[in-house]
Structure 1
Amino acid sequence: MTENILESLAKNVANMEDSNHPPVHLWSPEHCGEINIVIQHDGSWMHDGGLIKREALVRLFSSVLWLEDSQHYLKTPAEKLSITVETTPFLITQMAVKDAGTEQQKILFTSSYGDTVLLGSEHPLHLDKNIIQDQEVPLVMVRYGMMGRLARSVFESVVELGEFVESDKGDYLKVLSDGVVFELS
């Protein structure tokens, strides 16, 4: 049965226009159950306990990720199936910087699925202590309210770009991108 659901999802999504992201925000299917898919902390996708090895299938499914009432779904025009996400649905694995060290500096993040976001007002960066117990986790908004967790190497690069500021409120890291200053304490 779950193989039929996977095939159906793949067909529904494959028939869409070839674009960065399907318009999942325009679709209103009824919740039709759950599928035993888990997005693990390391960004790998599991189905019925086995690793989904086909990168094209993972990218396809990641393009129809949806968050609603704190639950993650795979959503097509015809189906909405709940899935499990261990920490965040996106893992930010790459970073690029344009105009580094200037007022026009722009930081671009890319997820392991190929999503690219410009750190700024639409895609803010913050530290969250609720994702992993007793750890501050750097998160950036990716899409539809879903967050991407910065890989350690990416966050280290952000720290190198930032400026440490000492203040009476406490020390923090100041990072500039797309005209927005982020204060990470």
Structure 2
Amino acid sequence: MTDSTKTSSTGLEALTRAAAESDKAGARPVEKWNPPYCGDIGMKIRRDGVWLYQESPIGRIALVKLFASILRKDEDGKTYLVTPAEKVDVEVEDAPFLAVEMAVSGEGRNQMLTFRTNVDDVVTVDAAHPLRFQKTKPEGGLKPYVLVRGRLEALCTRAIYAELVELAKPEDAMGEVIGLWSGGLWWEIAASA
């Protein structure tokens, strides 16, 4: 084992300990923490939701959930794992979370769309948790995202996207504006500006 590998491994262990001690359940108050930046230890979240540490998948879901609870995206657009004592880089290929399950309650303007993520966050689409559609390149299709917390979003899986399309209704008399109701708001299925 090289010195740099030993340091990175120790860094991961220290980060895991600090995260576990910072709070016992759910997302931690990472927005309130202002630790020093400690660099890049090789954390990455692939677009398929798999977390990697130095290019090796993290197979323990409990560890992934722990890391997800201390994830923060700052105003600079970068994503970090944050504890009260340190902040390290996390490379995110697309969104840090995936929306893997959807529940629908109510109808019309009273409809509520609730998503569960791959790390068991549960959010209902409303003003605090907006739904947006991003145009993909180069094919020009749309990818739906829901805001989970802070600046962290969940990309809806293809199955969830198909469910959203099935639920979509025209809002205008001409049938040109298609979207969904949730949280008392209309969410147009179109590329976000």
Regarding TM over 0.5, the answer is yes
Q: Kindly report the root-mean-square deviation, in angstroms, between the aligned alpha carbons of the 2 structures.
A: 1.8
Report the 3-state secondary structure (helix = DSSP H, G, I; strand = E; otherwise coil) of the residue aligned with 2:159: helix
Match of 2:12 in 1: 6
The aligned residue for residue 79 of structure 1 is: 86
Match of residue 180, structure 2, among 168, 175, 181? 175
Q: Distance in 1 between matches of 2:22 and 2:117?
A: 22
Matched, 1:95 2:102: yes
Distance in 2 separating the partners of 1:122 and 1:10: 29
Shift of 1:155: 1.3
SS in 2 for 1:57: helix
Distance in 2 (alpha carbons) for counterparts of 1:167 and 1:75: 49
Give the SS at the match of 1:46.
strand
Q: TM-score with structure 1 length normalisation?
A: 0.91
Q: Is the partner of 1:21 in helix, strand or coil? A: coil
For 2:138 and 2:130, the matched residues in 1 are separated by 22
Structure 2 residue aligned with 1:36: 42
Q: How many residues align?
A: 182
How many Å separate the matches in 2 of 1:155 and 1:75? Answer: 31
Q: Structure 2 CA distance, aligned partners of 1:171 and 1:66?
A: 38
Provide the TM-score with structure 2 as the length reference: 0.88
Q: CA deviation digits over 1:71-107, x for unaligned, max 9?
A: 11000000100110011111110101122x2432111
Query: Residues 148, 47 of structure 1: CA spacing in aligned structure 2 closer, same or farther, 3 A cutoff?
Result: same
- Matched residue of 2:186: which SS? strand
* 3-state SS of paired residue (1:182): strand
Could you list the runs of 5+ residues in structure 1 that have no partner in the other structure? none
- 1:59-78 to 2 correspondences below 5 Å: 59-68=65-74, 69-78=76-85
Q: State the alpha-carbon separation in 2 of the partners of residues 17 and 148 from structure 1.
A: 23
Structure 1 contact 95–109 (Cα < 8 Å) conserved: yes
1:137 aligns to what?
143
**Cα distance in 2 between the residues matched to 1:43 and 1:119:** 21
1:38 partner letter: K
Distance 1:133 1:5, change over 3 A: farther
List alignment gaps of at least 5 residues for structure 2: 1-6
Cα offset, 1:18, TM superposition: 2.1
Structure with bigger helix share is: 2
Matched-pair contact (CA < 8 Å) for 2:72–2:80:
yes
Q: CA deviation at 1:19?
A: 2.8
Q: Is the 8 A contact 1:159 1:173 kept in 2?
A: no
